[in-house]
Structure formats: C-alpha cells, structure tokens
Amino acid sequence: MSAPKLGGQAVVVGSSRRFVHLLDKNGATIKAQSSSKAVDLTVGDSVIYGYRKEDPVVTEILPAKNYLARSYRDETKKIAANLDQLFIVTAVGQLFNTFFLDRIMTVAACESIPYTLVVNKIDLGDQETRILSDIYERIGIPVVYTSAKAGKNIELLEQSLRDPDLRIVALGGISGVGKSTILNQLIPGTERKTAEVSERTGQGKQTTTQAYGYMYERDDAAPLLVIDLPGIQNFGVQHLSKQSVAESFPEFIERVAECEFDNCSHIGEQKCAIKDALERGEIAPQRYDSYVRMIDEIEEAKPY
C-alpha cells in the first residue's frame, strides 16, 4: 500500500473553469481541482492544498498582503495578489492613456504596491508622449523607456527584476502596449500571443484574456513569479475612498497641509492649495482631471 500524498503551501499561477494551476515551493507545477474555495482565488494568492484521493485540491487561502483590484459595475474584481512590484506598461502615441495610468497607479498606491511606468515602443518616436511621461518623472515616479520589439532597454527591466526582495511582480496595461512582447523577451518560451494596434480605433487588440504567472529564473536570488495581466481598458475605482484617492497623488501630499480645510476635496473649495498649484502650472491638468473623474465616479456609486 503506497503512502498517502502530502499537500503543502503553493502559489496560484493561473486558473480555468475546472482547474487551478499552482506552483509549489520546489518550483513544480500542480494542476489542482477547482473547489468552492477556488471561486475567490487570484493569481498570486498563497494557498494550502491537500489531496482528495489522488487529486490535489485547494483547502485554504492564506491572507494576502495586498490585492490589485478594479471596480466593474457594482462589483470589485481582484486581479492579482501579494505584489512586490507593478510594472505599468504603456506605449507612445494614442496608447499613452493618462486616465488609465492614473487609475491603476492610484489603486496600486492605495494597496502600498510600488510601481514603475514602462513606456514601450519608443522606436516609433513621439514627442508628445515624452512630454506626458515627463509629468510622471517630475513627481518621482520611476519611468523606463523600452522597445520590446527591438529588444531595446529590456536589460533595464531585468536589472529591476534582480532585486532579491522581489518575489511576485506583475505587468499591467491596456491592450496593445506590448506587455506580451516584453514578457517574451524576459522569459523566452512563454510564447504569449501578440497583436498589432487597430488602425481604425488606435486601441490595442487584446490577446491576453486571463492573468497567468511565469517563473523568471535569477542567478543570485530565488526564482521570481512574473504575472502577465489581461489588457484592461476600463479600471474602475468605486471601491476606493475619496481620501485614499487624494493621498495617492504625490503632488497633492506635499501641498495638502496648506489647504484651508482639513477635509478639503480639492474640487469645490475656494481656498485650496491644490487648485492654486494647478493654476500656477505646478500640477499637470491631466493629473487633476484624472483625480476629479475618480472622485466623481466614487460619488456617483454611492447608494442613496
């Protein structure tokens, strides 16, 4: 009689309707049966799994240190868990969507997830994009410029991934910015599908439909889990508080103490340090517009 199989702790790297794909501490991939617990699983979650007869099954979801999530209609959907770093990928031209960037940055900041902006497709050249990306550099957000298709500056991303304190990172962005191409450069053999941008809409054609984690081998540190997130055009923030949104803007934090009221919304008040800085050109109007849109969305979602 053979000894019973023992379970253990693992990380969720993907899921389907019937199965959950896990990575155990030895780097082995486990295809576990879906269960009632699997409904709440997110890529990056740490779980405990056991065996039901011969089949591995998730038995417990361990508490996560953070979740990257977005609102969609009246629901909040978790996208990834336990992130040590988020690489927000954008691209030159029409794909440089400041409203999306500001939203995903806000959600990451509210969950204390460090993030880096990756501007891809720089081989195409676009002066307006450089002006926009300078806005983020000026407020202290790290920016990396790449051309994944040409293999340019991918080594700068690799340098970041060598940080031994990183265990789980994610690549996020709207469809068409080149996330899958970057991933294929970082981890040859992943063979993530790529697609061109629609000439009619200027938007990307989505190729990644579900988040999935891949192992990135490192010489001087343990392997790193790199999560490729699906292209998301709309990133709702209804689940956030108005105060947390304001606190996620670095250029607001250094000035908010100068507002007349402690609970200043930075929208309707007459004496507001944020609005004064906006008029002086010290805060980018694109960033302020993003802030107002997010606050409006949160207000509109309130039940009455």
Residue 74 has pLDDT above 90, yes or no: no
Q: Which SS3 state, helix, strand or coil, does residue 170 take?
A: strand
- Amino acid 111 reads E
- Residue-wise pLDDT for 190-237, tens only, equals 765 554 544 343 444 444 458 999 999 998 888 999 999 988 878 899
Of the listed ranges 12-16, 139-143, 189-193, 232-236, the least confidently predicted one is: 189-193
217-231 burial by CB neighbour count: b if 16+ within 10 A, else e? eeeeeeebbbbbbeb
Q: CA-CA distance, 209 to 66, in Å (whole number)? A: 22
CATH number at residue 249: 1.10.40.50
For residue 101, the enclosing domain spans 67-228
Total number of domains in the chain: 3
Same domain, yes or no: 132 and 270: no
Same domain, yes or no: 248 and 220: no
Q: Give the contacts of 70 (CB within 8 A, at least 6 positions apart).
A: 76, 77, 79, 107, 232, 234, 235, 236, 237
Same domain, yes or no: 192 and 279: no
Same domain, yes or no: 218 and 246: no
Is there a domain that residue 3 lies in? no
Same domain, yes or no: 89 and 55: no
Cβ atoms 132, 286 nearer than 8 A: yes
Is there a domain that residue 43 lies in? yes
Same domain, yes or no: 57 and 75: no
Same domain, yes or no: 15 and 134: no
Question: Where do we find the tokens 């941008």?
Answer: 197
Same domain, yes or no: 220 and 248: no
Is there a domain that residue 201 lies in? yes
Q: CA-CA distance, 233 to 235, in Å (whole number)? A: 7
Number of Cβ within 10 Å of residue 39's Cβ equals 8
- Residue-wise pLDDT for 267-301, tens only, equals 999 999 999 999 999 999 999 999 999 999 999 98
Instruction: Classify residue 142 as left (phi > 0), alpha (psi -120 to 50) or beta.
Output: beta
Q: What is the mean pLDDT of residues 154-181?
A: 94
Crossing angle for the helix pair 285-300 and 98-110, to the nearest 10 degrees = 70
Same domain, yes or no: 167 and 283: no
Q: What is the pLDDT of residue 37?
A: 56
Tokens read off for 233:
């055009």
Residue 3 has pLDDT above 60, yes or no: no
Tokens read off for 209:
């439909």
Q: What is the pLDDT of residue 242?
A: 95
Sign of CA dihedral 51, 57, 61, 67: positive
Cβ atoms 150, 123 nearer than 8 A: yes
Crossing angle for the helix pair 127-138 and 285-300, to the nearest 10 degrees = 70
Same domain, yes or no: 203 and 220: yes
Last residue of a domain, one of 61, 78, 99: 61
Same domain, yes or no: 277 and 181: no
